[in-house]
Amino acid sequence: MVHALSYPPAQNSRMDNINPIRLATLSDLSRHGYQLACYCPRCRRWAELDLPQLSGQGLAERLLAEFRPRCKTCGTPGEKQLRPPKRWQGPRARATFAHYAARADA
């Protein structure tokens, strides 16, 4: 008997095709296209970190959990924010309502 709130295991779930990625080091972030930004609570300033430059300084294999950036202006420890990769760099698509109106008449 199946409980009313339980579901049987899904067959051929879309999750079966997902490959996990590792985001533990600064080089992992760079390899997968992620960005790392920091916020200074004292200055109220945001800065996006240059991951290739940090890698060039020997910090490529630094664990993200142990990475402690500081504000260039005041020296306060920054709060990190992981940002996902940008999907599309090209021009934005323009939506037109003429397309929808033409289909409605058909």
pLDDT tens column, 73-99: 999 999 999 999 887 666 666 655 555
Q: What angle do CA 25, 29, 30 make, to 5 degrees?
A: 115
The answer to whether 26 and 64 are in contact (CB under 8 A) is yes
pLDDT tens column, 3-28: 556 656 666 666 677 788 899 999 99
Residue reference for tokens 């294999």: 61
pLDDT recorded at residue 31: 92
52-72 as b/e: b if 16+ CB within 10 A: eebbeeebbebeeeebebebe
Give the torsion sign (CA, 31, 65, 55, 88).
positive
pLDDT recorded at residue 16: 73
pTM: 0.64
Model confidence at 45: pLDDT above 60: yes
Q: Where are the domains of the chain?
A: 22-85
